[in-house]
Amino acid sequence: MASRLAASLALFFLLASVAVLIAVAVVQVHKRTYESAGLRFGIVLDAGSSRTTLYLYQWPAEKENNTGVVSQTLNCMVDGVPISSLGQNSSLDQMSWSSLKNCVAQAREIIPPSLHSITPIFLGATAGMRLLRSQNETASDEILQSLENYLKSLPFDFRNASIISGAEEGLYGWITANYLMGNFLERNMWNEWLHPQGAKTIGSMDLGGASTQIAFTTPIEEGASAEGYTRVRLYGYNYNVYTHSFLCYGKNEAHKKVLAALVLAQKPSKTVENPCFPVDYSTTMSAADIFGSPCTETPQDYDPDQQLHLVGTGDPARCRAVVRTIFDLESCRGQANCSFNGVYQPALSGHFLAYAGFYYTANALKLNSSFTLDSFNSTVFAFCSKNWTTLIANYEIREKYLSAYCYSSNYVYNLLVEGYKFTAETWNNIIFKKKVENSNIAWSLGYMLTTSNMIPAEPKRLWLPMDNSVFAGLLFVFSSLAILSLMFLIISLVRVCY
């Protein structure tokens, strides 16, 4: 009887020990949690031809397929002059530096102090500095060096201050457009980031002050030069992107080309009729304002101090014709894949996101994000036919910008239709936008996404219900108890049987 009782107790302790071991293992494995490694931040200074903008981005320290899931946290525009104009006016320089430091201070407030030293900061200068470098490389180097010295003095991880190429600017803009439109990643019902099934990319078109860029995915055509193509890998996928940047064809520099054409056509008169300015509008400019740019040819009798009086005639048809003259279309005559100025461009495909100057022009005309070419043309001609008094009364736009929108709209037409070869049908594939949700469409986001490919990912931290020492101790105790119970059970059963 005693042996049977001992055997029963041994069996009970054996089963109990096994049950406890299973329970401890299940709890340790299935109740473990992963804590995010937290956020990481990056700062990009977009030093454009018109202004400098500081963008602060953030992304999870653990990344998706080696590319950060980046979102915009801060957009701070620097007052004063663009960096290409630094060193020309001390009071404006002081204003610019003060405003820049204010933007940096805002970023410092957002980023936790513990992350300051590992937050990368970059400065990318675009077409304005590309033009200055072509004119005066010493001046451009000195400006970049002064900015680099300042950025290095900050508590952040300074990475680079450089002039990016037009091709890079176009590529980064394309990456931004597709990222914001959800063509790289989307959240599923479990809040996980996945590559969208069957997602197609969208082309991008950027119109800045000194250059314009176009970029879209397309196979490299047989026999075509690979010069305009870039292969980029994002979120585990490869993309083949055609991109081209036209220096001197940004909205402001192209305007100087148009003004130069008008002045030269009406020489030697110092009063110049401008069909792109509204009736009853006039302004005075110096010859240096027009011919002082490397984008315009200097006439032989050039006097930079000469004052020119420009008078608006409000003639939309003639304005469009004059703007058309700044494009070399003859060099592409008879060629299927050619935009203008003899530049190779594959056939357009898919939808396009037009931002920056494209958006501002459409918005000034009170157009929505999508509209037909006929609607655009009728709106442009109606706008250009209004006199200055009517425009001021009906449009809440600063006068220096309002006077130029007839030119801008006709420039957009010529660039897209005559230059890039959009038709009435393919025009419907263009979306004019400034933002997607809370993020600006700008090359800087694409730059940050690309750069985050090179920033090491950090694994999520594993949190277990029990410390490893406690878990090991419990395993040892109950494993020992199970072994002893099994041995005692065997001995008890042997005694009962014999």
Element counts in the chain: helices (H) and strands (E): 15, 20
The mean pLDDT value for 170-188 works out to: 84
Rounded Cα distance between 408 and 364, Å, is 10
Are 286 and 410 in the same domain? yes
Instruction: Please give the pLDDT value at position 200.
Output: 85
Q: How far apart are CA 278 and CA 211, in angstroms?
A: 26
Distances in Å between the Cα of 8 and the Cα atoms of 3, 37, 488 are 9, 51, 10
Residue 154's CATH number? 3.30.420.40
Which of 109, 137, 164 terminates a domain? The answer is 164
pLDDT value for 3: 60
164 φ, ψ (degrees, to nearest 5): -85, 155
Question: Would 311 be classed as within a structural domain?
Answer: yes
Task: Work out the percent of the chain whose per-residue pLDDT is above 90.
Answer: 67
- Alpha-carbon distance of 402 to 388, in angstroms, equals 9
**Distance, C-alpha 486 to centroid of its chain:** 68
Contact 344, 228 (CB under 8 A): yes
Element (H, E) at 10: helix 2-30
3-state SS class at 422: coil
With a CB cutoff of 8 Å and minimum separation 6, the contacts of 12 are none
Model confidence band, residue 309 (pLDDT cutoffs 50, 70, 90): very high
Burial of 20 (C-beta count, 10 Å sphere; 0-12/13-18/19+): middle
Which sign, positive or negative, has the C-alpha torsion 282, 287, 290, 296? positive
Tokens of 42: 């990056």
**Binding site annotation covers 423?**
no
In a domain, 459, yes or no: no
DSSP string, 231-245: EEEETTEEEEEEEEE
Asked if 376 contacts 369 with a C-beta cutoff of 8 angstroms, the reply is no
123 falls within a domain: yes
- Spell out the residues 6+ positions from residue 251 whose beta carbon is closer than 8 angstroms to its own: 207, 208, 209, 212, 357, 361, 408, 411
| Confidence label for 64 from pLDDT (cuts 50, 70 and 90) | very low
Cα 491 to Cα 17, 478, 497: the distances in Å are: 18, 20, 10
| Bridge partners for 240 per DSSP | 231
Residues 288 and 404 in one domain: yes
CA within 13 Å, CB half, 198: 0
The domain spanning residue 385 has which CATH number?
A: 3.30.420.150
Residue 459 pLDDT class (50, 70, 90 cuts): very low
* 50, 77, 363 from 396: Cα distances, Å: 21, 21, 11
Hey, how many other C-beta atoms are within 10 angstroms of the C-beta on 79?
14
User: How wide is the angle at C-alpha 176 spanned by C-alphas 158 and 370, nearest 5°?
Assistant: 150
Domain boundary among 146, 164, 182: 164
CB 458 within 8 A of CB 452: no
Query: What amino acid is encoded at 182 in this protein?
Result: G
Task: Look at residue 154 and tell me whether its pLDDT is greater than 70.
Answer: yes
Residues 260 and 286 in one domain: yes
Do 371 and 276 lie in one domain? The reply is: yes
Residue 153 CB coordination number (10 Å): 9
pLDDT at 430 over 50: yes
In this model, does residue 315 exceed pLDDT 90? Answer: yes
Domain coverage including residue 59: 36-164
Sign (positive or negative) of CA dihedral 126, 132, 133, 138:
negative
Q: For position 250, what pLDDT does the model report?
A: 98
Residues 265 and 150 in one domain: no
Query: Does residue 109 lie in a domain region?
Result: yes
Mean pLDDT for 335-355 is 94
Task: Establish whether 8 is an annotated binding residue.
Answer: no
- Whether residues 119 and 220 share a domain: the answer is no
User: Which residues on adjacent β-strands are paired with residue 273?
Assistant: 311
Residue 367 lies in a domain: yes
Q: Give the pLDDT score at 461.
A: 42
Same domain, 223 and 364: yes
Q: For all residues of the chain together, what is the average pLDDT?
A: 87
Domain co-membership, 129 together with 218: no
Looking at the structure, tell me whether residues 328 and 475 fall in a common domain: no
Indicate if 317 and 359 belong to the same structural domain. yes
Stretch 434-457: mean pLDDT: 78
pLDDT tens digits, 97-116 = 999 999 999 999 999 999 99
Tell me if 215 is assigned to some domain: yes
HSE at residue 250, side-chain half, CA atoms within 13 A, is 23
Whether the Cβ atoms of residue 270 and residue 309 lie closer than 8 Å to each other: yes
In a domain, 439, yes or no: no
The full length of the chain comes to 498
How many domains does the chain divide into? Answer: 3
175 and 261 both lie in a single domain: yes
Which two tokens mark 493? Answer: 């059963």
Token pair of 256 as six digits: 């100087």
Q: Are strands 352-356 and 430-432 parallel, antiparallel or unpaired?
A: parallel
Kindly report whether the peptide bond that precedes residue 459 is cis, defined as omega within 30 degrees of 0: no
Q: Is 35 a catalytic residue?
A: no
Predicted confidence at residue 59, as pLDDT, reads 82
DSSP string, 250-271: SHHHHHHHHHHHHHHHTTT-SE
Cα 453 vs. chain centroid, distance in angstroms? Answer: 15
209 is in an annotated binding site: yes
Q: Give me the catalytic one of 64, 168, 169, 253.
A: 169
CA 82 – CA 89 distance, rounded (Å): 12
Residue 211 labelled as part of a binding site: yes
Rounded CA gap, 3 and 186, in Å? 67
Known binding residue 53? Answer is no
pLDDT band at residue 60, thresholds of 50, 70 and 90?
Answer: confident
Residue 445 located in a structural domain? no
Integer Cα distance of 72 and 439 in angstroms: 6
pLDDT, mean of residues 474-495: 65
- Looking at residue 456, its pLDDT comes to 40
Largest CA distance in the chain: 130
In whole angstroms, what is the distance from residue 57 CA to residue 137 CA? 31
Pairing between β-strand 307-312 and β-strand 271-274 as defined by DSSP bridges: parallel
Domain end position, chosen among 432, 451, 485: 432
Are 97 and 146 within one domain? yes
Cβ proximity of 433 and 351 under 8 Å: no
The set of residues, in sequence order, having a beta carbon less than 8 Å from that of 174 and lying 6+ positions away, is 201, 203, 204, 215, 216, 241, 243, 446
Residue of 49, 199, 184 whose CA lies nearest to 128: 49
